[in-house]
Structure 1
Amino acid sequence: MNGEPVKGATPATLGLLAVTAVWGSTFVMIKDVVGRMLPIDFLAVRFLIAAAVMLVCFARPVRRLGRAQALRALALGTLYGAAQWLQTEGLALTSPSVSGFVTGMYVVITPILGWLIFRQRLPVTLWIAVCMALVGLGVLALNGLSVDLGVWLTLASAALYALHIVGLGHWSRPGDAFGMSAVQMVAIAVVCLLATLPHHGPTLPPDGRAWLSVIYMALVAGAFAMLVQTWAQAHMPATRAAIVMTTEPVFAAGFAVALGVDALTWRMVAGGALVLGAMYLVELAPRFRRRRPAESLHHEV
């Protein structure tokens, strides 16, 4: 795929925006849960539940997947699971704000990997949008950046997320979304389960409230989100998907303000405006440019 809009791109953008809104809604919930259980245990239980549910619901689409698509889905899921693992380990060594910004570096890494691996060329507007999104993330998240082991681990996770976005954009097909998302979830669950072995295996959530959060994270922010992302990336270029997904911290800040966890600040407004401006460039500006020749011809007549 190149940088131009494709058929079905608008529903795909809306679907991906819904996914990032769901991810943004989970930050307060995750903060509560990981305060009472190890983050890697939380990830393992969350993705094991999601994988089990998806295998039951999508057993037939999984069986219909060809060997090549199944192997690609396993590889993509392994990338995503490793990214989750590295991000979690990095978060333990650095601040959440720095972790959020460094993770968002996938918006820059994605087009670079797309060009290196698949020779995908991007229009200038997409590069401008990438820069705007990156600056917006910095304004939203950063109060200073010290480069330590946590930052390097998180940057590695961002590279893996970018590789997952590029691979999913290249290999995903609309008809394979159910099967591929289920297989990816199985691979993610296996990676996260293996990551708990040094801690003697996963520990279950400590109480009913934690269980409710884990189940929401597993089914809505896990299974549903992976399904929609897999389908959406069959209809849009990888870099465009990465820019759309940078709205996650904007949604997170919005939910934090709405729930009374954080106060609205100029950084939220300015950073959010830059990210939304990047969204405008990749979603609305190309449509405006396509309409202009027809409008000019009409006026000349």
Structure 2
Amino acid sequence: MNTSTVKSDLLLLTTALIWGTAFVFQKTGMDHLGPFAFNGIRFVLGSLALTPLTLISLRRSAPVEYKPTPGLTTYLKGGMLAGGALFGGAALQQVGIVTTTAANAGFITGLYVILTPLMGLFFRQRPGWGTWVGGVLAVAGLYLLSVHGSMSISQGDLYVLVGAFFWTAHMLVIGWLAPKMNPIALAQAQFMVCGLLSMAVALPLEEIPLEGILGAADALLYCGLMSTGVAYTLQVVAQQEADPAHASIILSLEAVFAAVAGWFLLSEVLGLREISGCALMLCGMILSQLRP
């Protein structure tokens, strides 16, 4: 294993740690703000934080002779498309996390690792046997994690589960757009679109008191600067060297970090049934990438 591989793996692992821990702050932020107001402030803050990096990146991006440099309109369209998908996933996740645990939210959101190749079937992509077996394991794990007593899933888990489909759509959109434009500029555009859409919903439906913003300041700063700004930048840098399938395996560990952070910071307790469900889902995620 060469030095660049070790470096990219460490960056991806740090990204997974930041994203996983963010579920705890997303949950504690709900003590002070509504879900849409929290997301609105978080994503606008993350977008603004990326401004210096975007300007530097655009200046260093040398135009390719056979490929025209994307203009402002291209980034606006890309940002609206990616930001719309991001808004759907983030909104459902944030609403769902009010009534579910950080661990559940982390693992259920992680289903995008499996849903992405499955949805790729609509684009004539053919996943291998590992994806199908991984999908079965993930569904079994989801059942153990989220279904208790009667054959029904809790409301919070259901919101997060539907949100996983939006995260899947978001990954497919980003996979299509990223090769066509500067990825950091695209990220900033989509974060701003997501933040403005969230605020558009929050203003008529939620109260946004100053004391609520101050009370959620630590959660907003962590999710806005660390989870949105820093973690995304680390992912972009790392994936210059890392194979996408290899990167997905490491990033899927955000679910494990979410469970550990929920236990350590929020005293969330996972029983044997829930731990077994988490283990099955993690095995399904990894298998789907090892045998894609």
State whether structure 2 residue 243 is matched by structure 1 residue 247. Answer: no
| 1:34 is the counterpart of 2:30 | yes
Which residue does the alignment assign to 2:91?
85
Indicate how the Cα distance of structure 1 residues 9 and 123 shifts in structure 2: closer, same or farther if over 3 A, else same: farther
Gaps of 5+ in 1: 1-7, 287-301
Asked if 1 retains the 8 angstrom alpha-carbon contact of 2:20 and 2:255, the reply is: yes
Q: Which residue of 2 aligns with 1:294?
A: none
- Matched residue pairs, number? 276
Question: In structure 2, do the counterparts of structure 1 residues 205 and 42 end up closer, same or farther at CA, with 3 Å as the change threshold?
Answer: farther
Shift of the 173–225 alpha-carbon distance from structure 1 to 2, 3 Å rule, reads: farther
Look up the equivalent residue of 2:131 and give its one-letter code.
Answer: L
> Using the alignment, how far apart are the partners of 2:8 and 2:271 within structure 1?
31
* Aligned residue in 2 for 1:257: 263
TM superposition shift of 1:228: 4.1
Report the AA paired with residue 228 of structure 2.
G
Distance 1:42 1:15 in 2: 27
1:43 & 1:177 partners in 2: Cα distance?
A: 21
Whether 1:132 aligns to 2:137 is: yes
Deviation at 1:34, TM superposition (A): 0.8
18-27 or 133-142: bigger deviation: 133-142
- Specify the alignment match of 2:64 in structure 1: none
Q: Which has the higher contact order (CA 8 A, sep 6+)?
A: 2
Of 190, 197, 212 in structure 2, the residue corresponding to residue 191 of structure 1 is 197
Match of 2:70 in 1: 66
CA distance in 2, matches of 1:123, 1:84: 29
Q: Is residue 172 from structure 1 mapped to residue 178 from structure 2 by the alignment?
A: yes
Partner of 2:16: 20
Indicate the residue corresponding to 1:57 in structure 2. 53
Aligned twin of 2:168: 162
For residues 172 and 163 of structure 1, the distance between their equivalents in structure 2, rounded to whole angstroms, comes to 14
Deviation sequence 1:276-301 (CA, Å, 0-9, x none):
43354356679xxxxxxxxxxxxxxx
Instruction: Please state how far the C-alpha of 1:127 moved relative to its aligned partner.
Output: 2.4
Q: Deviations over 1:56-112 (max 9, x none)?
A: 3322435766144653243112210132223334556x6458766664553443223
Instruction: Give the match for residue 110 of structure 1.
Output: 116
Q: 2:66 corresponds to which residue?
A: none
Please, what TM-score do these two structures have when normalized by structure 1? 0.72
CA shift for structure 1 position 257: 2.8
Identity %: 26
Distance 1:132 1:204, change over 3 A: farther
- Given that 1:104 and 1:137 are in contact with CA atoms closer than 8 Å, whether structure 2 keeps it comes out as no
Structure 1 pair 155/259, CA: closer, same or farther in 2 (3 Å)? closer
Residue 65 of structure 2 aligns with which residue? none
Partner Cα distance (1:113, 1:95) in 2: 26
Provide the C-alpha distance between the structure 2 equivalents of 1:244 and 1:138, rounded to a whole number of angstroms.
24
C-alpha separation in 2, matches of 1:276 and 1:148: 21
Once the two structures are TM-superposed, the CA of residue 233 in structure 1 deviates from its matched residue by 6.9
Q: Distance in 2 between matches of 1:54 and 1:247?
A: 25
Once the two structures are superposed, what CA deviation does each residue of 1:104-153 show, in whole Å capped at 9, x if it has no partner? Answer: 55344322321213x22212123222332343344344435636987765
Quote the Cα distance in structure 1 between the aligned partners of 2:289 and 2:8: 11
Q: Distance in 2 between matches of 1:229 and 1:154?
A: 23
Q: Note the C-alpha offset of 1:220.
A: 0.6
Alignment partner, residue 143 of structure 1: 148
Q: CA deviation at 1:39?
A: 1.9
Q: Secondary structure at the match of 1:183?
A: helix
